[in-house]
Amino acid sequence: MNGRVITVTSGKGGVGKTTATANIGAALADLGKKVVCIDADIGLRNLDVVMGLENRIVYDIVDVVEGRCKLRQALIRDKRLEELYLIPAAQTRDKNAISPKDMVRVCDELRKDFDYILIDSPAGIERGFKNAIAPADEIVIITNPEVSAVRDADRIIGIVEAEQKGPAKLVVNRINMDLVEKGDMLAVADVLELLAVDLIGIVPDDQAVLVSTNRGSPIALEARSKTGQAFRDVARRLTGEQVAFTKANGGGFLGRISQLIRTGSRPGSK
């Protein structure tokens, strides 16, 4: 096997990186892929909680890097999905506990056994972020339809380009159709116009996500959830499948985008 390393990052904190990682990971595993999620947020680990695996942690990534355990021993198997694994971060250390080189080494080893290696990056552009993107074949940027989040995403895209990590892919998370309609929120078209990268997902703002992350059960596995569907679509697009943006999973954004092309005006601008 020759797995692909995909790093999920955002620049700004709180936009939903960890939730997205857990859900995309679960959705990929649900498609029958062998997936491992790595929490690169050392010192502030969260991914284990969101995936509901906190109580199973014995070893973490710092233990692997510092040679206290074998890589295999740090892999935690998911409760529901056979082919989904987690390598947790250490909570008692900081980002300097591992280096970008360590991440590359760990990922190279994982590539042999997994189809996808998803890395949940910490916020910021410092060491933790550098660790997270060092081994990446592909970068997925999560942003919210807010000016500050988009600004940070823009900066991250610039850094990713400079690091030669290929064109980043974008997921716009927590879009609220009511606010967009009122002109109080940026529309996906506005975000895309500025960032000019490939869009691979539009995820609606949904309180059910909060409930599912608190319960440690990814919403991507809830067949009837529209938000879950949005994450499943992201996963399918990552596998190379062409999935159209439909009303059901994005609230008719494509209509807005084609409208934009026709009229040459920008929806959502004051």
Partner 1 sequence: MSVQIKGIREGLLVSVDEGEWTEAEKGLLLELERQKAFLKGARLILDLESHEINAVAMSHLRDQLSDQGLLLWGVLSQSPLTERSAQAMGLATRIHGSEPEPEEEAAAEEPETPADGPAVLLKKTLRSGVNLTHQGDVTVIGDVNPGAQIVAGGNVVVWGRLRGLVHAGAKGDESAVVCAMELSPTQLRIASHIAIPPQESGKPGPEIAFVREGQVVAEEWAPAGASPE
Return residues touching partner 1 (CB under 8 A).
Answer: 151-152, 154-155, 157-159, 161-164, 194, 196, 270
Contact 220, 21 (CB under 8 A): no
3/145 with CB nearer partner 1:
145
196/210 with CB nearer partner 1:
196
Angle formed at CA 33 by CA 43 and CA 220, multiple of 5 degrees: 65
φ and ψ at residue 264, rounded to 5 degrees: 75, 10
Contacts for 224 with CB less than 8 Å, ≥ 6 apart: none
> How does strand 84-87 pair with strand 76-77?
antiparallel
80/151 with CB nearer partner 1:
151
* Distance (Å, whole) CA 172 – CA 189: 10
> What are the structure tokens assigned to 66, written together?
């510092």
72/155 with CB nearer partner 1:
155
Rg (CA), the chain: 18
Smallest distance from the beta carbon of 84 to partner 1, in angstroms?
A: 34
* Distance (Å, whole) CA 113 – CA 85: 11
Contact 168, 156 (CB under 8 A): yes
Smallest distance from the beta carbon of 124 to partner 1, in angstroms?
A: 13
Smallest distance from the beta carbon of 164 to partner 1, in angstroms?
A: 8
Smallest distance from the beta carbon of 143 to partner 1, in angstroms?
A: 12
Considering only CA atoms, which of 236, 167, 231, 164 is closest in space to residue 196? Answer: 167
127/226 with CB nearer partner 1:
127
Smallest distance from the beta carbon of 162 to partner 1, in angstroms?
A: 4
> What are the structure tokens assigned to 12, written together?
């700004």
Smallest distance from the beta carbon of 59 to partner 1, in angstroms?
A: 33
37/156 with CB nearer partner 1:
156
